[in-house]
Amino acid sequence: MLRACSICRRLTEKRECDVCKNKDLSEEWSGLVVIANPKESMISQKLDIQTSGMYAQYVRSL
Ligand SMILES: [Zn+2]
């Protein structure tokens, strides 16, 4: 099951976020976004994403 980081919204199957090492992950998220080229992507700029990967568009913090 994928969880979303409450800070950067990155999706991960691990217990902590790969990018910011945050352990506050939420199971309640929606809107899967795949970022391949963060520097060239309009979505990544809008969501302020610098690392490629899968992200949630909306995350509900617990
Ligand atoms: Zn994060």
CA nearest 34: which of 53, 59, 14? 53
pTM: 0.86
Compute, in angstroms, the gap from residue 39 CA to the centroid of ligand 1: 18
- 13-26: pLDDT as tens digits: 999 999 999 999 99
Distance CA 26, CA 18 (A): 14
- 23-51: pLDDT as tens digits: 999 999 999 999 999 999 998 898 889 99
Compute, in angstroms, the gap from residue 37 CA to the centroid of ligand 1: 18
DSSP symbol at 61: -
Burial class (CB within 10 angstroms; exposed 0-12, middle 13-18, buried 19+) of 1: exposed
**CATH assignment of 3-59?**
2.20.28.90
All residues at 6 or more sequence positions from 10 whose CB lies less than 8 Å from its CB, including other chains: 4, 17, 18, 19, 20, 49, 51, 53, 54, 55
pLDDT above 80 (res 62):
no
Structure confidence at residue 61 (pLDDT): 75
